[in-house]
A and B are shown apart, each in its own frame.
Chain A
Amino acid sequence: MILNLNNREEFFDSDTLNISELMLIKKFSYPKIIVKVNDRFVEKEDFHSTYIKDGDKVIILHLLAGG
């Protein structure tokens, strides 16, 4: 499938992945993380059960401390 991940078109071998799997593949590991799928926030407890598919728009941000 092809995802729009953080404004970039990216290709993945699987037809579907859950958020946890996606994060593992892309090496997103920072604790304070924000995930949006098609403009809806996904909470941490739902990472395992939220699946993304071809054409989805995904935003994953590290909210680093500082400011």
Chain B
Amino acid sequence: MNFEQIRDILKTKKVGVAGCGGLGSNCAVALARVGLGTLVIADFDVVEKSNLNRQYYFYDQIGRPKTACLKENIARINPEVIVETHQTTLTGENIRFIFRDCDILVEAFDRSDMKEVILKAFTVSFPEKHLVMGIGMAGWGKNNLIQQNQYDKLIICGDQLTEIGENRPPLAPRVGVVANMQANAVIELLLGEMDDLML
């Protein structure tokens, strides 16, 4: 498949990104670059200086809502992508509504309890759709531990071992690996498996 064919498929698709932090912002940008048709992004928060070590925002965006800033950043990269923003706290109820038309949902929350909310709300309401979660991306190095695991329609990217903490902060390289892995998993679901691996 050449890029034009890929682009023609992707521009008909709609993907949700729940959370616009380290995982969400980077994943959304990767999907925008390859020409996804529509992104539905949601986050209640504003950009803070401490976010910049991993999140896809700029210094002059500090203090402004993440959804608005991410939409602007995406427009500067690929103005053809439609970005629907929801500056709101996600709950079990509104998750079902906000992402109802999405082909796939990317989970990009930082809190454990919110990961559980979205896992249950989305997979119970839309059992036929894929959810791509990000679990375990703290610290640095240890690239070989990062992997993708699939359980029916649930895909998990990350090492599933490391939790964010004081001495294991989230950092751009490792968070970016997992965020891009999520985007890569989404693309694979939308395009089908890449064939013809010539060794």
Which residues of A are in contact with B by a Cβ distance under 8 Å?
Answer: 6-7, 31-32, 34, 36, 39, 41, 59, 61-67
Contacts and interface: CB of A to CB of B under 8 A. Distances in A.
Contacts of A64: 112, 135-136, 138, 158, 160-164
Given A7-B151, A32-B116, A34-B116, A66 B163 contact: yes
Contact of A67 (B110, B119, B152): B110
**Which secondary structure dominates chain A's binding surface?**
loop
Contact of A7 (B109, B116, B149): B149
Interface hub of A32, A64, A67 (most chain B Cβ within 10 A)? A67
B134 interface: yes
Contacts of A32: 112-113, 115-116
A39 B136 contact: no
A56 to B, nearest CB: 14
A67 B110 CA distance: 4
Given A64-B135, A66-B136, A66-B164, A59 B151 contact: yes
Interface string B97-108: 000000000011
A3 to B, nearest CB: 14
Nearest to A59: B151
A67 B113 contact: no
B19 interface: yes
Contacts of A41: 120, 124
A61 B113 contact: no
Interface string B152-178: 101010101111100000100001000
Contact of B110 (A31, A34, A59, A65): A65
